[in-house]
Structure 1
């Protein structure tokens, strides 16, 4: 037997372990300072850094706390509000995890776990905050009617791309969109106040907008008559349906031009909604640099947060030039080939009735006045 530092070494394995402990001593555990962001920043500074007001963040923290809170404060555990703020900071900057962790006084690995946990916790609230209550339908119809006197509309439909890093795997090119970068193609329907009442986030960037809608639950509900005579409006990338009204390709008469103008203006809220959503949470414009399995929860949680912000009447935060440049890049128009539409004559019945029975008399009344 040999002796080393007063310890008895019984074999080579023990000796090597002792040498490793001497040469590479365990670092003492340290806890970084975690600032109180609610008191550190003014209201405007807080909004700029987290994209939501203090009142809204406090409300969100209270709602999600039962889902994300630790059962003990041992090991200096993060509180629910600290975890929400860390996640919001990541959404607000699209930065790397290390930077988000440093801002909140935690390690990169902790930041990753917290962001994933909070994103999923908020996304699970989608049934409460992303929905179309029956009692709200009349108000939503009136809201759209007030824009351009388009009748029976309860939603504006469109898709937008959220940039991601290369997903790897066997078929990464499925995620490369027509603009050449990897993305998810996100479908959403909003009301006239820019609140999202339906969202689909599971399709790769190469998926066509019309194909996403064709396979969506909301389309099946319209087909089954769940929404009665109410309508959606969409752009020319979709096929015209009895319940989905798209613009005329080649309007010629004054009433057709009037119909197209009203349809386009009524559809405008979804374009504005996507703009506000990406300005409020720039990670959706700059790109999500996380594992592809985490993207859906982040996008849905951003939609939930957006709706809560609309509900609580938060101001839209200012953005920097980098975010604006990313938004402009994402908005470059690229011609879309509309897929084949079955029963074109039947699907055109409602649109033609709107033109002849509603917009034609409307135009005549204006002419008489």
Structure 2
């Protein structure tokens, strides 16, 4: 099943990327003339008692409302400044009649994405109307989608070697490149657009987001725009990532040798919703597993949880993705999802710590039953057996050295 044609176009756009940048080296943005530069203190004064969890400390309060530190916020403003300044500011004024600064526009958009609140509520917190919130948020999304892509791209070989080294050092899995998972973004469609294509197995209208993460829960690859009615294995096979792997153009780096001198190629890990492939390792199932199989499953589960936690964190931090989106434009929704993923990576790249008051759920798809794919590739099975024996041998050797 394929998504709407416009959604395909949105998916293809995700493959584009820009040159890399460094948040810490971003130039300080100049002050704009005729701007509402006191927006933060006005906002903080107005919303400091909006809930029991609002911190008293200014910097902590800023991170509470906008999910990032002031330094990272300035970097994000530097990314979109050119677009937000160059476009005619039609209607972008506050209640005092002054033009909205770039900083206030970014704050409005990020608060909308972070809180998931209605546009009227977000506008009320900033002293602007609903239409202004809508216009500002979409301008921000368009600019981030175009200019921040370098924060989400498949690693170059040198960077991938660093990722694989971390996975082996921390989790014991040699030549592991990441973990894969997928989640449903729930939405409410107008009656005229309701379709079984978008109705998933839990009777929700939803859109899928598939991600691959590294050891720091940074997104390395995402796929979105496809209906939530698909299975996760079907979503994988419709993705460009799958096609690249199957054609030998991705996960094609240097092989490693196991303790038995067998080849271990590059791979990612996923749960039982995915097929067992030479480059995708899923856990063993059933009773009476051998010691080596049990060791593999334990290591596998630890790494696989990284993808689960990353999606849980994404939805908790950018709450617009965890609440039911009311009548979204299905052609714009992939862009909203992408920008939230970009912001997720910027937080990691900037070494920002999440605010401690932010509650993370145990799972990103609460209420959904686990899926199970029965496809087993013989080469993938041989690869998994090689890995399990290698891990068992490594553990036995470590125990012997310890004695």
TM-score by length of 1: 0.82
Q: 1:337 aligns with which of 357, 372, 393?
A: 372
Structure with higher RCO (Cα < 8 A, 6+ apart): 2
> CA offset at residue 347 of structure 1?
2.9
For 2:290, the equivalent position in structure 1 comes to 253
Which deviates further from its counterpart, 160-169 or 345-354?
Answer: 160-169
For 1:349, the equivalent position in structure 2 comes to 382
| Structure 2 residue 261 is matched with structure 1 residue 239 | no
For 1:49, the equivalent position in structure 2 comes to 65
For 2:305, the equivalent position in structure 1 comes to 268
> CA offset at residue 319 of structure 1?
5.1
Q: 1:360 aligns with which of 362, 371, 392?
A: 392
Question: Residues 54-73 of structure 1: matches in 2 within 5 Å?
Answer: 54-71=70-87
TM-score by length of 2: 0.76
Question: Residues 126-145 of structure 1: matches in 2 within 5 Å?
Answer: 127-134=149-156, 135-145=158-168
Q: The residue matched to 1:286 in structure 2 has which SS?
A: coil
Q: How large is the RMSD of aligned CA atoms in angstroms?
A: 2.4
What is the CA–CA distance in structure 1 between the aligned matches of 2:357 and 2:341, rounded to whole Å? 18
Moved segments of 4+, more than 3 Å: 38-41, 70-77, 167-171, 318-321, 366-369
Q: The residue matched to 1:178 in structure 2 has which SS?
A: coil
What is the CA–CA distance in structure 1 between the aligned matches of 2:268 and 2:206, rounded to whole Å? 25
What is the CA–CA distance in structure 1 between the aligned matches of 2:100 and 2:139, rounded to whole Å? 12
> CA offset at residue 54 of structure 1?
1.1
Structure 1, unaligned runs of 5 or more: 1-32
Structure 2, unaligned runs of 5 or more: 1-35, 45-57, 94-98, 253-264
Which deviates further from its counterpart, 358-367 or 345-354?
Answer: 358-367
Asked whether the 8 Å contact 1:161–1:186 carries over to 2, the reply is yes
What is the CA–CA distance in structure 2 between the aligned matches of 1:302 and 1:257, rounded to whole Å? 36
For 2:352, the equivalent position in structure 1 comes to 314
- Note closer, same or farther for the CA distance 1:146–1:113 as it changes in structure 2 (3 Å cut): same
Which of 1 and 2 has greater Rg? 1
For 1:20, the equivalent position in structure 2 comes to none
| Structure 2 residue 242 is matched with structure 1 residue 219 | yes
What is the CA–CA distance in structure 1 between the aligned matches of 2:87 and 2:273, rounded to whole Å? 50
What is the CA–CA distance in structure 2 between the aligned matches of 1:334 and 1:317, rounded to whole Å? 30
> CA offset at residue 50 of structure 1?
1.2
- Note closer, same or farther for the CA distance 1:110–1:39 as it changes in structure 2 (3 Å cut): closer
For 1:19, the equivalent position in structure 2 comes to none
Structure holding more helix per residue? 1
- Note closer, same or farther for the CA distance 1:69–1:352 as it changes in structure 2 (3 Å cut): same
Asked whether the 8 Å contact 2:311–2:364 carries over to 1, the reply is no
